[in-house]
Amino acid sequence: MVLSLALPLGAQPAFEQPFSREPVESLDQRRADYLDRNKQKQDWRLGLYAENDFATMDNSAIAMLLTRGEEIEACNRRVIELMEKPGTGPFWMFPVTMVAYAGRDKLSVEARQAVRDAWRTTRQLRGDTENHWVMYHTAMYLMAQMYPDEPGTEWWNGLSSEENFVEGRDWLLDWMNLTTTIGQGEYNATHYIGEYAIPLLMLKVWAADPAMRQRASIVLDWLFAELATVTLDGVLRGPNSRTDDTSVTERWNALATYFSWQLFGNVPAGERFHGWGWGNYFAVLAEHYQVPEVIYRIATDRKQDILQHDRARSRRIWRYSDEHMRPIYKTQYLRDNYAVGSHQGGISDPIQSHVWDVTWSVDDPRGVHNTMFSLHPHSSGRVQQMFFCTFPEPMPPGVTYEGKPSYNSANKLLGCSPYEQVMQDLDTVIALYDINPADDFPQVNGFFSKDLTDVEEHASGWIFARGGTTYLAYRPLAAFTWEPHIRYPNSRDPNITEETGGRVLVSPHVKNGTILQAADGSEFSSMAAFQAAILALPLSYALEPVPTVHFTSLRGKELSMTYGETPRVEGTPIDYEGWQLFSGPHLNSELHSRVLTITHGQLGRVLDYNTLSITDVVLP
């Protein structure tokens, strides 16, 4: 209530001002714009506390005020109050660490002691995911650095400052080594990107060890280089290790967009910066960072097509799998007006994966469902057991009240499946399904956005449509019906749903498949011409005994795929084993090399994690 009263609509410049996707050529202007956006974000956040009423402010607002040197007495009071009821776990730990550092020479002795006491008295949780551990160990590392040489009696976990520091450091080094060697586990996450970027920026700014600062700088550039490469007009599309029920269809509506907005300035902000809450913490330190020129150029230039073949890894798998971490093979094809992305299918993350889509550009992506894809809506206690220490039954219904409301629903559009296999060549995707008939939801769902135009169910079996200026041809391989697309406005209540105006193609057949072909609006004079081109493409398929497809793509490639076998392009099996960590026009890294080369035009930056060097180069 306080927020709505304190904050009249229209007080947020970033929401109302027109934005431009044109690159800013002047470095000085670009820096000024960057700082201005950060100031807008901070002003907005602090503007929530009207009439100097700071009694309800959170840790991000406190940290902002401390860095500005403003309202210190209010910060003191609020810190002492907040520390009376500490939270538990990494989502509490890293914000308080930020307050501790931002206020280390500004907060009163009493306020600093309140923070210190909380780290002595309240048992914290490490968590059980990669992002939890990044936040947790960063916080422990920095807090132990702030209070060195103290015995275990002064820390909540009984470990001395030295023990806490070493444990945090060793975990962070192991994670950075792993990430730069075989890839990130929570790759291309639409929301959790913040849980990596913020701790890395904290380490870059506050670690006393210059090597740790450099490591954090390298991995931060690494993270944002990939964000720049795989976003379309600043919008992160699939595949995603983790996304959510909203972002998977309204692709702009994600925390990742905040980073594009802040770093690249090529995407509009949402009203009241909705959904960008964690961005407040990045904003506290944003002045200490700016993406290098080469990353900025990659993000803001789609004049040349991008084809990246990259690797990542699944979340670590405790059980019910022969693999500790599955290699993830990502194909990213981005053009000026649309992008197609995928990984090979199968289980990558227990709940929130998104395997493939085509996403198109729109002038203003806010509120637009600018994407198309299909999936098998798999819900499984066994899959949860692969990744969590849990029994089979509680999690499928339980997570629907913990921010994943669609997880246990047949109509869901989020998640991966052990019964889905995907191949991609440029802007063609083939997804095949061989679903266990005993599965809870033996069907395939295809997402058809409210924002599609010219949708036509053709007698041939193809469904044609336009997304923005992009032509889309979607071929379901089994019979289907239509259901309304629903959204979950309350992420913690699966029983509250709203229809969006979009539709879901529901195909209740366990032997199944989807073929998708996209094309740019400039390639054909009309929808009729596009349809004619698609209908002329050789296509044969069978669903028994397992789904198999032979399709010659719009790009003239003979694509063959049989469920359970390695897909073939022009008769040659795709050499997944030979894929590098990154391979494409902008990002290149040999598997295990720990060296990432980032290029755009003549610009280059080499991130060498082995030598801890960052080298800018000019290419011939």
Partner 1 sequence: MTGLMSLTLASSLLAETAYDFFICANVNRNYVIGSTIVTTNGLFQRDPASAEWRHFGYNDTTLSAVAFDPRDHDVIYTTSLNGIWVSYDGGDSWKMTNSWDMTEGRDVAVDPHAPDTVYLALPDGIAVSPDRGQTWARRENGLPDRGKFTQTLAVDRSTGGRVLAGCEKGVFLTENAGGVWRQVLPTETQVNDIEQSPHDDQRWVAVTDTHGAWHSTDGGATWSQLAGLPDEEAIYNVTFDPTNPARLAIASWVYGVWTSEDGGETWIERNAGLPADPRAWRVGIDPNSGRLYASIFQETLYYSDDFGRSWAPDALEGSLVNAFHSIPRLQH
Interface positions with partner 1 (CB under 8 A): 85-92, 123-128, 132, 137, 152-153, 157-159, 167, 170-171, 174, 318-324, 385, 389, 391-394, 401-403
Closest Cα to residue 353, out of 411, 307, 308, 420?
Answer: 420
Distance of CA 246 to the CA centre of its chain: 13
Cβ neighbours of 353 (radius 10 Å): 28
Which CB, 141 or 264, lies closer to partner 1?
A: 141
CA distances from 47 to 2, 40, 53 (A): 11, 10, 10
Amino acid in position 58: D
Q: Compute the least distance from the CB of residue 246 to partner 1, in Å.
A: 18
517, 427 contact by CB (below 8 A): yes
**Closer of 156 and 524 to partner 1 (Cβ):** 156
Name the token pair of 414.
Answer: 């989020």
Residues 6+ apart with CB under 8 A from 438: none
Cα distance between residue 176 and residue 485, in whole Å: 40
Classify residue 433 as left (phi > 0), alpha (psi -120 to 50) or beta.
beta
Strands, E, within 204-337: which ranges?
Answer: 231-232, 235-236, 306-313, 327-334
* φ, ψ for residue 14, nearest 5 deg: -65, -30
Beta-carbon contacts of 532 under 8 Å, excluding residues fewer than 6 positions away, are none
Angle between helices 210-230 and 293-300 (to 10 degrees): 20
Of the pair 324, 592, the CB lying nearest partner 1 is at 324
Closest to partner 1 by CB, 391 vs 482, is 391
* C-beta closer to partner 1: residue 157 or 500: 157
Task: Pull the structure tokens for residue 378.
Answer: 């798999």
Orientation angle between helical segments 255-263 and 210-230, nearest 10 degrees: 100
Q: Please give the sequence-ordered ranges of beta strands (E in DSSP) within 296-452, or none if there are none.
A: 306-313, 327-334, 338-343, 356-360, 371-375, 420-425, 428-434, 444-448
Dihedral sign computed on CA atoms, order 323, 325, 327, 328 = positive
Measured torsion, CA atoms of residues 160, 164, 165, 170, in degrees rounded to the nearest 10: 140
CB 364 to partner 1: min, Å: 33
Among residues 128 and 565, whose Cβ is nearest to partner 1? 128
Q: Closer CB to partner 1, residue 8 or residue 394?
A: 394
CB of 125 to partner 1, least distance (A): 5
- The amino acid that residue 5 corresponds to is L
> How far is the C-alpha of 421 from the C-alpha of 513, rounded, in Å?
9
Least distance between partner 1 and beta carbon 329 (Å): 21
Nearer to partner 1, 15 or 133 (CB): 133
Q: Please, which residue, 145 or 512, has the CB nearer to partner 1?
A: 145
**Minimum CB distance to partner 1, residue 323 (Å):** 8
Least distance (Å) from partner 1 to the CB of residue 438?
12
Shortest spacing between CB 391 and partner 1, in angstroms = 6
User: 265 or 396: whose CB is closer to partner 1?
Assistant: 396
Distance between CA atoms of residues 61 and 91, nearest Å: 15
CB neighbourhood size of 493 (10 A)? 12
| Nearer residue to partner 1 within complex by CB, 91 or 147 | 91
Long-range pairs of 586-589 with CB within 8 A, sequence gap ≥ 24: 586/225, 586/228, 586/229, 586/298, 586/306, 586/308, 587/225, 587/226, 587/229, 587/308, 587/310, 589/180
Query: In the complex with partner 1, which residue's Cβ is closer, 82 or 375?
Result: 82
Q: How far is CA 200 from CA 277, 312, 604, in A?
A: 18, 19, 22
Give the shortest CB-543-to-partner 1 separation in angstroms: 30
**Closest distance to partner 1 from the beta carbon of 495 (Å):** 15
| CB nearer partner 1, residue 440 or residue 454 | 440
Minimum CB separation from partner 1 for residue 325, in Å? Answer: 12
Output the smallest distance, CB 8 to partner 1, in A. 31
CB 71, min distance to partner 1, A:
24
The distance of closest approach from Cβ of residue 138 to partner 1 in the complex, given in angstroms and rounded to an integer, is: 13
